[in-house]
């Protein structure tokens, strides 16, 4: 609902209809944003979703991630019709792809030049890679709207958006852009979220960063020993393992991995009671609950899982 509202707000603020998203980036299950989505859509190998009409997706333009030339060309052709570009701060739904140093700043420059807005989706990265999210981790640009979820709910269903004051004033009941819902501002979810954010101090983030680096090293060691082609990519403390050689920069690269090797790796760990996200396209992350005992259990299970991945 945060990304859905952000899209509505961008359209209301600009008077334009079209939205640009990037192939492999996932922004929730609203009809306009399911085109060429990552996450579960990618796992199922679907181009979008049954039930999404051509009209609903007709104002969504999909561009390859980190293709500056393609993004520039789209704006040169229909820039006066584009309300916003929406992008994940660092993509986490086609596997984790740490963006090139100037990529997000370039999106900002192009949108500003054409009078469009930049929506930074921090649903996965916000309050996870640090207290200021990916924007605080990277810096160097200012999006118009940011969206949040997951961590902000402290395990409860909660989403949020923020942005420039003049844009936020356009939301109802102050402005003409409608936003409301049965679960909006749910007191239990907001209490859980606020408590989580208060507990997430510098020591918690340092612990998670350390555990993430430790786990990446353990995985690399096990897969290398079993001669399994792989590359581990990270964005802050988020990471994922691609079962292929070479860097992954976009959705096509991500889809070129050996998903069957991932499946064997996943099921071996599952049998050993180590629970990964059940998709080769999801991010891996740890928490403050991962102590020495948990890390030891994972380390013990990895060699067997790596050998399973190696044998088709």
* Active site residues per annotation: 26, 121, 150
What angle is formed at CA 197 by the lines to CA 283 and CA 154, rounded to 5 degrees? Answer: 60
What's the sign of the alpha-carbon dihedral 5, 8, 14, 16? positive
Tokens of residue 158, six digits: 């909660």
What are the start-end ranges of the E strands in 13-81? Answer: 18-22, 60-63
* HSE-CB for 301 with a 13 A CA cutoff: 19
| Count of C-beta atoms within a 10 Å radius of residue 285 | 24
DSSP letters for 82-144: EEEEEEESS--SSS--PPPTTHHHHHHHHHHHHT-EEEEE-TTTTTTSSTTHHHHHH-S---S
Q: Which two tokens stand for residue 96?
A: 């984790």
Tokens representing residue 57 in the block: 């997706």
* Closest alpha carbon to 190 in 220, 221, 158, 216: 158
The β-bridge relationship of strands 82-88 and 238-242 is: unpaired
> Between vectors from CA 142 to CA 170 and to CA 178, what angle results, nearest 5°?
20
**Phi then psi dihedrals of residue 180, to 5 deg:** -170, 170
């Amino acid at each position: 609902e945060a990304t859905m509202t952000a899209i509505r707000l961008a359209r209301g603020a600009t008077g334009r209809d079209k939205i640009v998203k990037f192939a492999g980036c996932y922004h929730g299950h609203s009809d306009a944003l399911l085109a060429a989505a990552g996450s579960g859509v990618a796992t199922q190998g679907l181009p979008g979703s049954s039930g999404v009409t051509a009209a609903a997706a007709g104002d969504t333009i999909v561009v390859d991630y980190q293709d500056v030339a393609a993004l520039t060309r789209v704006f040169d052709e229909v820039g006066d019709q584009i309300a916003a570009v929406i992008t994940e701060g660092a993509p986490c739904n086609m596997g984790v792809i740490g963006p090139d140093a100037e990529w997000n700043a370039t999106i900002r420059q192009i949108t500003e030049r054409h009078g469009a807005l930049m929506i930074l989706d921090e649903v996965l990265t916000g309050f996870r890679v640090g207290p200021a999210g990916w924007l605080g981790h990277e810096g160097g640009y200012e999006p118009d709207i940011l969206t949040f979820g997951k961590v902000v709910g402290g395990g409860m269903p909660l989403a949020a958006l923020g942005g420039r004051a003049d844009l936020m004033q356009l939301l109802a009941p102050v402005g003409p852009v409608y936003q409301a819902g049965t679960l909006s501002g749910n007191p239990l979810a907001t209490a859980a979220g606020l408590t989580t954010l208060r507990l997430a101090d510098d020591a918690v983030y340092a612990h998670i960063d350390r555990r993430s680096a430790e786990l990446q090293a353990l995985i690399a060691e096990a897969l290398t020993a079993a001669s399994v082609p792989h590359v581990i990519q990270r964005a802050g403390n988020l990471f994922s393992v691609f079962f292929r050689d070479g860097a992954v920069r976009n959705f096509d690269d991500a889809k070129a991995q050996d998903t069957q090797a991932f499946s064997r790796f996943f099921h071996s760990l599952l049998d050993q009671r180590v629970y990964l996200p059940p998709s080769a396209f999801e991010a891996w992350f740890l928490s403050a609950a991962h102590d020495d005992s948990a890390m030891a259990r994972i380390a013990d299970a990895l060699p067997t899982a790596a050998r399973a991945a190696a044998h088709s």
